[in-house]
Amino acid sequence: MEEKILVVDDDQNICELLRLYLEKEGYKTMAAYDGQQAIDFAKTFTPDLILLDIMLPKFDGWQVCRQIRKESNVPIIMLTAKGETFDKILGLELGADDYVTKPFDTKEVMARVKAVLRRTNGGEKATVEEVVYDKLRINLTNYELQVDGKIIDTPPKELELIYHLASNPNRVYTRDQLLDEVWGFDYYGDSRTVDVHVKRIREKLENISTEWSLKTVWGVGYKFEVK
């Protein structure tokens, strides 16, 4: 059965961007642009998850979350420009399941959506996206890079790039292929973006293992080489 996501934000551009990504992943979506609509649609649309902004007309996100929690345990992920610890704690205390601070990477939001739905559905509808090599674990579900047993803070796009390469060992990708397959329609720069991200990834993975490496194929692009 198609899972339903309610997106609540007074910025229609954000709603449309999230809708494009969510529907690409197979979710049915509906958008609400103020707090009253959010409360009403939570009843009539009966979503499986709500992406809820805090700064809304009519009722703010706190009020919406509080009202929905009186009637439903539907998972709620807060989307907001507020990043203070107090706001995060308040959202969680009101019953939110997760919290993403703007500006956010849309693919990271998708990963959070999948993770929350997996938890609430008992893990039946999603599989863990992870690749593992000697002293290296790349988990796209939780957006986590583990190197030699330590979790390394890694920006989402760097993690998506190394995950994509490591998921296809020994395959050579051109820069344009990586831009298309990793950045997609998020991308507004040039091919040097790939080089910069590869350089940063290499700094994290340097001299970790002799069993694999991130290789430059001169005149072509890059590959994750497994020996």
Q: Give the per-residue pLDDT at 164.
A: 94
- Identify whether the C-beta of residue 146 lies closer than 8 Å to the C-beta of residue 160: no
The distance between the two most distant Cα atoms of the chain, rounded to a whole number of Å, is 60
53/213 Cα distance (integer angstroms):
41
Q: Give the per-residue pLDDT at 125.
A: 45
> Measured at the alpha carbon of residue 193, what is the angle toward residues 223 and 160, in degrees to the nearest 5?
55
- Identify whether the C-beta of residue 222 lies closer than 8 Å to the C-beta of residue 205: no
52/123 Cα distance (integer angstroms):
23
Element counts in the chain: helices (H) and strands (E): 8, 12
pTM metric for this prediction: 0.56
Q: Give the per-residue pLDDT at 193.
A: 83
Phi-psi region of 99 (alpha: psi -120 to 50; beta: other; left: phi over 0): beta
Which DSSP string corresponds to 107-169?
Answer: HHHHHHHHHHHHHHTTTSS----EEEETTEEEETTTTEEEETTEEE---HHHHHHHHHHHTST
50/47 Cα distance (integer angstroms):
7
Domains of the chain with CATH codes: 4-120 (3.40.50.2300), 130-226 (1.10.10.10)
Sign of the torsion angle spanned by Cα atoms 16, 91, 89, 25? negative
Q: Give the per-residue pLDDT at 1.
A: 58
Q: What is the pLDDT along the chain (227 residues), one digit of tens a residue?
A: 579 999 999 999 999 999 999 998 899 999 999 999 999 999 999 999 999 998 899 999 889 999 998 888 899 998 877 655 556 666 667 778 888 888 888 888 888 898 888 777 764 444 568 999 999 999 988 889 999 999 998 888 889 899 999 999 999 999 988 988 887 644 555 678 889 899 999 999 999 999 999 999 999 999 999 98
